[in-house]
Amino acid sequence: MVHQSIRYIRSAMFGAFLCSLLLLACSASGPASAAGRPNIVMILLDDVGFADIGAYGSEISTPNIDRLAAEGVQFTNFHTAAACTPTRGMMLTGVDNHLVGMGNMLEIMADNQFGQPGYEGFMGYSVVTLPTLLKDAGYHTYMAGKWHLGKTKKSIPAARGFERSFSLMESGADNFEKKSYLPMYDFVHFYEDFEQVDKLPDDWFSTDYYTDRLIEYIGKDHGDGKPFFAYFAPQANHYPLQVPDEYIEKYAGVYDVGWDEIRARRYARQVELGVMPAGLTLPPIAAARKWDSLASVEDRRRYAKRMAVYAGMLDNLDANVGRLLAYLEKIGEADNTVIVFMTDNGADNNEQWKIFPDWYAANFDLSYERMGQRGSYTDYGPGWAGASGTPLTLFKGAASEGGMRVPLIISGAAGVRSGVKTDAFGFVTDLTPTLLEMAGVPVPTGSYGGKDVHPIMGKSALGLLRGEKNHIHGPNDVVAYEMAGSAAVFRGGYKLFRNNPPFGDRQWRLYRPLEDPAETQNLAGSNPKLVADLKAEYARFSKEVNLIEVPDDYNPITQIQKNAARNQGKEMLESVPILD
Ligand SMILES: [Ca+2]
């Protein structure tokens, strides 16, 4: 508590100092600047891997995001949870997922976790959200895109701090129409503010539309003297992979060389860019065949197009980011806006249509010709997910780097340096305290608005962003993470982790992910004391966040079927699985 109070005072003093500096520097450039507080735009992509952005080694055209990296601070060692809802809950509160209510995802929650505190499966009420804090401090707060943190009128964005919002409640949906993408559910819910949206426009395309709404929200209030926080959470690139045709055509033929070659090219480019160390030996992509061993030409043709649709969808997302940036430029707010760009977890290897072939055949066009279009369904499978995550191992859901290490770029105002890459370790709970410090808003330390709330656990990265420090976490700081039995403990450049089935064997292993990002050299055998220390740290963390371990025989695949049955007919209740 003492430390937190000191941090609070320092943060408040620093905020006040910053305000006066900015007042001197920016007094002529508009009302938001005059208040000394930057606008904040937070862009969160869905299921996009570490290597999919140009600035991280990709061949996919992402010039607008690359420009953010060139003009800001690009992180190469930043981590989220390995799945959607825990990441989103932690990102918007600065508090560990077990305390936020996302101890596990409802769809795979173990029998012994149901109904327990911290396992509500939606964002609980013992945390105060970043938009609430910013709104109470005089910010406008807007959101467009996927929410996935609760879907009753108590838990939707409008109830959790957003003045204006247009949002999808589920883990994903079709991108061209109001239609479910998963066989367990025949519903999709959108809300605008507190109202359910019955019908989407005929020409709806998810990413384009969310961008339009966000621009509209920003425009309506612009000029009234208040800064804004805008949260842009597109469905891109969650399956179904879909995008207007011209974006798919742009990538025709690009992926005929296969995932092994694309992965090799991306790694070479990462070395050139200084994003990854040279000399790594990449293990084979998990769960994927070698491209050259694919027997049929037809197979290769279909796989190549699936990746072309993925690339087109991300290209379109980048064009929309460009549209948003151009709008900020047009209204004179570009110089006073901080942009945060990140993705919510590693690449997703799942191929749903293989698990539920009849349902997908009955509800979607699966033909080669229609791939990516309205009415179609496709995903991209483990081979391409492996290339997406270059050079990391495994995928979304795993506590390996391939599940947890993501691109993060912070760019723009508030003294953030330009053209800097950093390999400082960072974690998703660090974002809320960073943005609060930028906005000069005190960090809550145990209560807010007369109610007890969990204190923020992350650390502000502002010192690093401004070049006053070269780290966010000190060598003795511990950051721990757990979901569905897969867990990781980071300290002093080491990472102890274990994966549950289907990704692993529950055994703890020790790596140095900065030097060994593909996690090929297990150091546990030669460092028994360190392993014991980090296990003890994990035990402390478990107690602190009231973690309930899954049973030894837990398997998420069988659990998901059980929980889907629990869900029947209850889709509007708060504690109902919303598949990730
Ligand atoms: Ca996700």
Tell me the β-bridge partners of 228.
140
Structural domains of the chain, with CATH:
2-22+37-474+481-567 (3.40.720.10)
Q: 463 C-alpha to center of ligand 1: Å?
A: 29
Q: 578 C-alpha to center of ligand 1: Å?
A: 13
Tell me the β-bridge partners of 420.
73
Q: 16 pLDDT exceeds 90?
A: no
- Determine the pLDDT at residue 567: 62
- Determine the pLDDT at residue 33: 43
CA-to-CA distance for 156 and 11, rounded, in angstroms? 30
Q: Using only C-alpha atoms, what is the Rg of the chain?
A: 22
Give the closest residue to 208 by CA, choosing from 323, 112, 95, 305.
323
pLDDT tens string 173-229: 999 999 999 877 778 999 999 999 999 999 999 999 999 999 999 999 999 999 999
Q: 240 C-alpha to center of ligand 1: Å?
A: 13
CA-to-CA distance for 473 and 460, rounded, in angstroms? 9
Region 458-486: mean pLDDT is 98
Q: Backbone phi, then psi, for 327, in 5-degree steps?
A: -65, -45
Contacts of 95 (CB under 8 A, 6+ apart): 89, 127, 429, 454, 455, 456, 457
pLDDT above 70 covers a percentage of the chain that reads: 91
C-alpha distances (whole Å) from 111 to each of 98, 102, 224, 578 are 16, 15, 51, 17
Q: 397 C-alpha to center of ligand 1: Å?
A: 9
Region 241-256: mean pLDDT is 98
Q: How many CA atoms lie within 13 A of 358 on its CB side?
A: 1
Range of weakest confidence among 28-32, 214-218, 530-534: 28-32
pLDDT range class, residue 477, cuts 50, 70, 90:
very high
CA-to-CA distance for 518 and 233, rounded, in angstroms? 28
C-alpha distances (whole Å) from 169 to each of 88, 104, 470 are 13, 17, 38
Q: 23 pLDDT exceeds 70?
A: no
CA-to-CA distance for 177 and 503, rounded, in angstroms? 33
- Written as one letter, the residue type at 474 is G
**Residues 243, 60, 347: CA angle, nearest 5 degrees:** 75
- Written as one letter, the residue type at 275 is V
Q: 352 C-alpha to center of ligand 1: Å?
A: 15
pLDDT tens string 37-79: 999 999 999 999 999 999 999 999 999 999 999 999 999 999 9
pLDDT tens string 495-505: 999 999 888 99
Q: 281 pLDDT exceeds 50?
A: yes
- Determine the pLDDT at residue 574: 43
pLDDT range class, residue 419, cuts 50, 70, 90:
very high
Q: 577 pLDDT exceeds 50?
A: no
Q: 234 C-alpha to center of ligand 1: Å?
A: 11
For the full predicted model, state whether its pTM sits above 0.85: yes
Q: Residue 89 is encoded by which pair of tokens?
A: 């809950």
Q: Backbone phi, then psi, for 96, in 5-degree steps?
A: -55, 145
Q: How many CA atoms lie within 13 A of 245 on its CB side?
A: 4
Give the closest residue to 480 by CA, choosing from 147, 86, 130, 106.
86
Region 542-547: mean pLDDT is 98
26 is catalytic: no
Q: Residue 296 is encoded by which pair of tokens?
A: 């049929």
pLDDT tens string 423-460: 999 999 999 999 999 999 999 989 999 999 999 999 99
Tell me the β-bridge partners of 314.
none
pLDDT tens string 296-318: 989 999 999 999 999 999 999 99
Burial 281-299 (b: 16+ CB within 10 A, else e): ebeebbebeebeebeeeee
Contacts of 534 (CB under 8 A, 6+ apart): 489, 491, 494, 496, 510
Q: 48 C-alpha to center of ligand 1: Å?
A: 8
Region 385-390: mean pLDDT is 98
Q: What is the DSSP string of 43-76?
A: EEESS--TT-SGGGT-SS--HHHHHHHHTEEEEE
- Determine the pLDDT at residue 370: 98
CA-to-CA distance for 399 and 388, rounded, in angstroms? 17
**Residues 410, 412, 417: CA angle, nearest 5 degrees:** 70
CA-to-CA distance for 475 and 494, rounded, in angstroms? 10
CA-to-CA distance for 304 and 323, rounded, in angstroms? 29
pLDDT tens string 342-374: 999 999 999 989 888 999 999 999 999 999 999
Q: 576 pLDDT exceeds 90?
A: no
Contacts of 161 (CB under 8 A, 6+ apart): 129, 130, 131, 132, 133, 134, 135, 141
State the chain's mean pLDDT as an integer: 91
Give the closest residue to 421 by CA, choosing from 139, 178, 69.
69
148 is catalytic: yes
- Determine the pLDDT at residue 356: 84
Catalytic residue among 79, 98, 148, 454: 148
User: For residues 576 and 107, is the Cβ–Cβ distance under 8 A?
Assistant: no
pLDDT tens string 564-574: 777 654 543 44
pLDDT tens string 108-152: 899 999 989 999 989 999 999 999 999 999 999 999 999 999 988
Region 318-346: mean pLDDT is 98
Catalytic residue among 26, 79, 84, 222: 84
Q: Residue 559 is encoded by which pair of tokens?
A: 């659990």
Q: 10 pLDDT exceeds 80?
A: no
Q: 262 C-alpha to center of ligand 1: Å?
A: 23
**Region label for 348, one of left (φ > 0), alpha (ψ between -120 and 50) or beta (otherwise):** beta
User: For residues 192 and 183, is the Cβ–Cβ distance under 8 A?
Assistant: no
